[in-house]
Structure 1
Amino acid sequence: MLDIEKIRDVLPHRYPFLLVDRIIELTPGARARGYKNVTINEEFFEGHFPGHAVMPGVLVCEAMAQVGGVLLLSMTGNEGKLAYFGGMDRVRFRRPVVPGDTLVTEVELIATKGNIGKVRAVAKVEDEIAAEGEFIFALVERDRSTKTTDGVVEDKVAK
């Protein structure tokens, strides 16, 4: 449903920290599903761990949070905002994520109140749960008026 270019329009993340390749299902205000193709070329595999490459758990969480951010930012009134990561609850890791895996993240909206959103995420590899948890976000306005020298819009939090 959203290719990488559309994801880049929604999220401020860029390589090597953009950890979702495609959103394959999106129902604003309800749920989203996206995936990350995990390759041996990921920079973090150089040191985590040599000879036994495993995607760091914090980056699995970040991948889940990015799909959650897409869900929250797709809701009416949130377009163009930033979703700041505010916290995690009930996070559990069930299996390692390794090169060659496709990490599929399913996210459901739990609640929103004011500028706060909470989602539940489950990340799977071949239908086996790799990680799960709840993620909290603060949704803030961004000032899109500043451009860098290469013409790319630089996001700044509005004061």
Structure 2
Amino acid sequence: MNILSAQEIMDIIPNRYPIFFIDAVDELIPGEKVVCRKNVTINEEVFQGHFPGEPVFPGVLIVEALAQAGSIPLLKMDGFEGKTAYLGGLNKVKFRQKVKPGDVLRLQVDIVKLKSNAGIGYGQAFVGDKKVCEAEMTFIIGAK
């Protein structure tokens, strides 16, 4: 179920093509949780070189997709609308499986701590029921 479309997401976060990785928001609780979708397609520029003959979506871009997803529940909170959430740190990042063209990433981020203009989110990326990545992310909320 689609709560926010890609266009509506671009009204919240500043990312744009070619570094915009959220196709839809399926679940959102401001300040607490988000579940998003990223459709991985062979048409993405990264697959021209990563890797010829065996296209693999880079892990660093999975983490970027999680960071974009995690910024949404923060920026939908009262007082943070119209601001930018910057990725301030990563901990406990793990990759568990390759992500290939045709996969649909389900990106879930739970905000586990909020303090003034910072937050910590625990992000998980899934393809189907298989966890492909997880990371603890620190966000800093700044002016737009």
Superposed displacement of residue 141, structure 1: 1.3
Distance (whole Å) between structure 1 residues aligned to residue 138 and residue 50 of structure 2: 27
- Identity of aligned pairs, percent? 46
SS in 2 for 1:67: helix
Shift of 1:75: 1.2
Report 1:1-159 matches (<5 A). Answer: 1-142=3-144
Q: Which protein has greater RCO, CA pairs closer than 8 Å, 6+ apart?
A: 2
Return 5+ residue gaps in structure 1 as ranges: 143-159
Q: Distance in 2 between matches of 1:46 and 1:76?
A: 41
1:71, distance to aligned residue in structure 2 (A): 1.4
Q: Distance in 1 between matches of 2:97 and 2:73?
A: 25
Aligned partners of 2:136, 2:88: CA distance in 1, in Å? 11
Q: Which letter maps to 1:70?
A: I
* Number of residue-to-residue matches in the alignment: 142
In the superposition, the TM-score normalised over structure 2's length comes to 0.97
Distance in 1, matches of 2:55 and 2:48, equals: 8
Q: Render the CA deviation track for 1:19-48: whole Å, top value 9, x for unaligned.
A: 110001001111100010000001101111
Q: TM-score, normalised by structure 1?
A: 0.88
Moved over 4 A (4+): none
1:112 CA drift (Å): 1.1
